[in-house]
Amino acid sequence: MSHLIDRRLNGKNKSTVNRARFIRRYKTQLKRAVSDAVNRRSITDIESGEKVGIPSRDISEPVFHHGPGGTRDMIHPGNKDFLPGDRIERPEGGAGSGSGKGKAGNSGQGEDDFVFELSREEFMDLLFEDLELPRLVRNQLVGTTEFKSVRAGYATDGSPSNIDVVRSLKGGIARRTALGGPHRARIRELEEELAALLASGVEETDPRVIEIREEVDRLKTRIAALPFIDTFDLRYQSFVKQPEPTSKAVMLCIMDVSGSMDQMRKNLAKRFFILLYLFLQRNYDRIDLVFVRHHTIAQEVNEQEFFYSRETGGTVVSSALHLAYDILRERYDPSVWNIYAAQASDGDNWDSDSVLCRDLLINRLMPLMRYYAYVEITPRQHQSLWYAYQEVKAAHPHFAMEEIAGASEIYPVFRELFRRQEA
């Protein structure tokens, strides 16, 4: 008496809850590992999951057990040349630790870290925990819910205009095949019988032959009488209303590509932008990216050019701010879009331009912005732009500026900029 059951289609994620609890329990350790990981990572794989380690000691589950010492007798297989009374040196580390010979080498875990992989989601959650987007609240209050229709498979009823012809006809064929099947099988049988009869020399006028022919004709009429299409076959395209994302965000990336920004600095800037982008993704359903790069004149470019093309020349920051302002005014209505900007620069600017930038920001750009983050990537003394921006910061609290000297500072600076604000 056995039952065979196919369970393969049952859910396979039975352990999800337990896994989540494990992560929750060791959050502090994991967070440390995650922020270390960010600093180590290259830019391209920042979105994947991450291997993290926790000291095994921290997660051990204790039980009463014997420690080293005392007298122990152990049996091992495979004696080659030992005789009773032989004395052997204690193997390294195996001195009565309970593992016996060789086991230490086999399990080989000891005090190592317990290493495992976080999924991308878990990684991001830990990475951005405690961070929030400044001034997110206002937009959510303003936002109105809009719907849009999306395809959602097929339904058996609907309005005639939504009939899906191909599906309906397929249904018809299936129905006719199913209903006509028994008749056709019967016809085949009869025809075989008929063929056999005729082959054995029976006359066409034999009553059985006539009977078979009549029966076949009758069945054929019945098959022909099956309706070509029935209301039962009809399939309608189904549409459901889906709420349109209400929180849309646009992220303006502004970067100085003048001669003084070398590839290393651009990479630093890029990491910062990536962090910001990932972070926005968690909060908004839809994000537009606008890349503006500038030296003496500003250009809107695609991502590839933004990060990798080379330019040289002087630096006029206000050109980028002008262009940004134009783009926003044309395409991104601040009542619908949440506008975030991140600017990365090495701080070089024409002296007289810094004042212009300050005025542009204070009077025009900042009122449109949810948040404006400026990072200066420089190991040197600040120049005029920094001081001009300090005035902007004084005028608008949602303007933030920080300085980054190396890759390891990016994440701390990012945290600093987006720290959850006290209510």
Partner 1 sequence: MTGRVISDSSEWSFPLLERFDREIGRIAHEVYGLDTYANQIEVISSEQMIDAYSSVGLPISYHHWSFGKQFVATEQTYRRGQMGLAYEIVINSDPCIAYLMEENTLPMQALVIAHASYGHNSFFKGNYLFRTWTSADAIIDYLVFARKYIAQCEERYGQDEVELLLDSCHALMNHGVDRYKRPSPLSMAEEQKRQEEREAYLQSQVNDLWRTLPLSGASAGPRAEERWPPEPQENILYFIEKNAPLLEPWQREVVRIVRKIGQYFYPQRQTQVMNEGWATFWHYTLMNHLYDEGFVTDGFMMEFLQSHTNVVMQPPFDAPWYSGINPYALGFAMMRDLRRICEAPTDEDRYWFPDIAGGDWLKVLDFAMRNFKDESFIAQYLSPRLIRDFRFFAIRDDDREETLEVSAIHEEQGYRALRQTLADQYNLGNREPNIQVFNVDRRGDRSLTLRHFRHNRRPLGDSTDEMLRHIRRLWGFDVRIEAVDEQGRVQLLAEA
Interface residue list for partner 1 (CB under 8 A): 1-8, 10, 12-15, 17-25, 59-80, 82-90, 95-96, 100-103, 105-107, 114-117
Shortest reach from residue 107's CB to partner 1, in Å: 7
Residue 79: C-alpha distances to residues 75, 95, 99, 107, 111 (Å): 10, 20, 18, 22, 31
- Taking the C-alpha atoms of residue 282 and residue 178, their distance in angstroms, rounded to an integer, is 51
DSSP 12: S
- Let me know the angle formed at the C-alpha of 160 by 156 and 162, rounded to the nearest 5 degrees: 70
Looking at the Cβ atoms of 90 and 151, the one nearer to partner 1 is 90
Residue 354: C-alpha distances to residues 93, 340, 387 (Å): 67, 21, 9
Task: Supply φ then ψ for residue 342, to 5 degrees.
Answer: -130, 130
Shortest reach from residue 39's CB to partner 1, in Å: 23
Shortest reach from residue 41's CB to partner 1, in Å: 20
Residue 107: C-alpha distances to residues 97, 100, 104, 110, 113 (Å): 13, 12, 6, 8, 13
Looking at the Cβ atoms of 70 and 201, the one nearer to partner 1 is 70
Looking at the Cβ atoms of 57 and 380, the one nearer to partner 1 is 57
Looking at the Cβ atoms of 60 and 335, the one nearer to partner 1 is 60
Looking at the Cβ atoms of 114 and 350, the one nearer to partner 1 is 114
CA 117 to chain centre: 15
Shortest reach from residue 95's CB to partner 1, in Å: 7
Shortest reach from residue 48's CB to partner 1, in Å: 15
CB 236 within 8 A of CB 155: yes
Shortest reach from residue 121's CB to partner 1, in Å: 15
Looking at the Cβ atoms of 65 and 151, the one nearer to partner 1 is 65
